[in-house]
Amino acid sequence: MISPSVYIARHMQVMLATLGDMIRSPMSNLMTIAVMGIALALPTGLHVILKNVQQVTAQWDGAAQISLFMKPSVTDKQADQLANILQKRQDVKSVTRITRSEALEEFRKNSGFGEALEALEDNPFPAVIVVFPTEQSDNLLTVQTMLASFKQRPEVELAQLDMQWLKRLYAIMDFGRRGIWVLAAMLSLSVLLVVGNTIRLAIQNRRDEIEIIKLIGGTDAFIRRPFLYTGFWYGLSGGILSWLLVTLSIWLLSGPVSQLATLYDSNYSLSSLDLLGSIILLGLSIFLGLAGSWIAVSRHLDAIEPE
C-alpha cells in the first residue's frame, strides 16, 4: 500500500524528528543518557582493566618456580653440587644458580642501599638455586611434593614456591571476571528499566495524541515508531557517553601506569577498549535502548484506547 521509498522516507523523518524532540528538551534527556552512560561505563571500564591485568599476567603463565635459599654456611661450591644433583631429577626442567656475590651485586645495583652494604664486613646474601619444574610437573600438587622434598635437604634454609601467589591472582581474576558479568547484567537491567520508565512517561505525556492517532486510523506500528526511535537514540547516545567515559578514564590512568611499568623495567602501556569491544558496547547499548522502549510501548500502548 505504501511504496518502499515513502516508507523509508517516513522512517528517516521519524528518526530525525525524535532526535529533534530530544535536542529540544536537553536537560531531562541528558539525565537519562548520563544514567545509561555511567551504568554501562562501570562494567566496561572494569572489563578493560581486567583485560589489561590479564595481558600482564599472561607472560607469567606456567612460570612456577621454586627458590631455594641456602644456609649462610653453604659455600658457592656446595650450592653448585646441589644444583647439579637437582638438575638430574626427572621433574626438573632447568636450574639457575645465583651465587652469593651475584646476589650482592644485584642488590647493590638495584636497591639503592649499596652504600649501606659497604658498612658490612661479610656478604649477608645466601646462595640461591632457582628450580623450574618440567611442564608435566607444573601443577600445584606435584610442585608441592617437590617443594617438600627440597625442604628436607640439609643445605636448604628456605624453600619457596613462587607459584601460589600467581594461582591466587588467577583465582581472584576469575572471581573478578564473574563479578563483572554479574555487575554488567544488573546494570544492564537497570538501564533497561531507566529507558523503559522514561518512555513510559513520554507515552503518558502524549496520551491525547496517541488517542487521536488511534481514532483516525493510525496503526500500532505507526504509534510505536517514534517511541522506538527515541529508545534507539537513548541507546546510541548512552553508549557513546560510556565509551567516552571509559576512554577518558583509561587515558587518565595511562600516565601513572606507564610510570609504574618503567619502575619494573617494562614498557607496558595500558590498552583501552579495542574496536570490537567498542562495537559490542554500542550494540549492547542500542539493544538495551530499543528493548527498554519496546517493553514500555507494548505494556502501555494497548492500555490507551479512545473512548
Looking at the Cβ atoms of 229 and 243, the one nearer to other proteins is 229
- CA 120 and chain centroid, separation: 47
The distance of closest approach from Cβ of residue 222 to other proteins in the complex, given in angstroms and rounded to an integer, is: 6
Binding other proteins by CB under 8 A: which of 60, 175, 181, 222? 222
The distance of closest approach from Cβ of residue 13 to other proteins in the complex, given in angstroms and rounded to an integer, is: 8
**Contact stretch for other proteins (CB under 8 A) within 3-11, 108-116, 122-130, 230-238:** 3-11
DSSP assignment of 215-273, as one string? Answer: HTT--HHHHHHHHHHHHHHHHHHHHHHHHHHHHHHHHHHHHHHHHHHHHTT--------
Q: Does 274 contact other proteins by CB under 8 A?
A: no
The distance of closest approach from Cβ of residue 304 to other proteins in the complex, given in angstroms and rounded to an integer, is: 13
What are the distances in angstroms from CA 221 to CA 224, 229, 233, 282? Answer: 5, 12, 18, 25
The distance of closest approach from Cβ of residue 274 to other proteins in the complex, given in angstroms and rounded to an integer, is: 43
SS3 of residue 302 by DSSP? coil
Looking at the Cβ atoms of 253 and 304, the one nearer to other proteins is 304
**Contact stretch for other proteins (CB under 8 A) within 1-9, 110-118, 121-129, 236-244:** 1-9
Looking at the Cβ atoms of 4 and 154, the one nearer to other proteins is 4
Looking at the Cβ atoms of 6 and 252, the one nearer to other proteins is 6
Whole-angstrom distance, CA of residue 193 vs CA of residue 195: 5
Looking at the Cβ atoms of 1 and 58, the one nearer to other proteins is 1
Looking at the Cβ atoms of 135 and 305, the one nearer to other proteins is 305
Whole-angstrom distance, CA of residue 82 vs CA of residue 92: 13
Looking at the Cβ atoms of 14 and 291, the one nearer to other proteins is 14
Segments in the chain forming alpha helices (H)? 4-24, 26-58, 76-87, 100-111, 114-118, 140-152, 164-205, 207-215, 220-263, 275-300
Angle of CA points 172, 178, 182, to nearest 5°: 135
Within 6-65, the residues that bind other proteins by CB under 8 A are 6-7, 9-10
Grid cell, residue 219, equals 496503526
Binding mask 154-193 for other proteins (x = CB under 8 A): ----------------------------------------
The 10 Å CB-count burial string (b at 16+, else e) for 180-219 is beeebeebbeebbebbbebbbebbeebeeebeebbeeeee
The distance of closest approach from Cβ of residue 47 to other proteins in the complex, given in angstroms and rounded to an integer, is: 43
Whole-angstrom distance, CA of residue 163 vs CA of residue 130: 13
Q: How many residues bind other proteins (CB under 8 A)?
A: 22
Binding mask 199-218 for other proteins (x = CB under 8 A): ---------xx-xxxxxxxx
Binding site for other proteins (CB under 8 A): 1-2, 6-7, 9-10, 208-209, 211-220, 222, 305-307
